[in-house]
Amino acid sequence: MWNIAGRTFLRSASGRTKWGNCMKKSCCICEKETLTKNEIGLTKKLLDKNAKRFYCIDCLAMYLEVDPEILLSKIEEFKEQGCTLF
Ligand SMILES: [Zn+2]
């Protein structure tokens, strides 16, 4: 369970939920649909905590012009800081 822009969403039992168009959790560049919590968390952390468009690791790395491995190590760093987005 986590909170997005004041609204609370519950993870479905199947682990996959259709959120409707505006909150669809798929990469807005390559349209990969199975974004991980890390990818969603990273988009929020690095771009906008109220983000409605999300990026997979590869597209986010391209967008930010960094190496995907840097983003993966950032995720670990944020986790160690106890960030609730991951
Ligand atoms: Zn992508």
The CB-side HSE value for 62 (13 A sphere, CA atoms) comes to: 9
Q: pLDDT tens digits for 7-57?
A: 444 443 344 444 444 456 899 999 999 999 999 999 999 999 999 899 999
Give the burial class of 56: count Cβ atoms within 10 A of its Cβ; 0-12 exposed, 13-18 middle, 19 or more buried.
buried
Query: Distance, CA 68 to ligand 1 centroid (Å)?
Result: 12
Which is more confidently placed, 4 or 48? 48
Instruction: Compute the half-sphere exposure of residue 75: CA atoms within 13 Å on the CB side of its CA.
Output: 18
Centroid of ligand 1 to alpha carbon of 42 (angstroms): 13
50 CA from centroid of ligand 1 (Å): 19
Which structure tokens are listed for 7? 């609204």
Residue 2's φ and ψ, nearest 5 degrees, are -145, 170
> Model's pTM, two decimal places?
0.69
CA 34 to each of CA 60, 77, 81: distance values in angstroms, whole numbers, following the listed order: 15, 23, 25
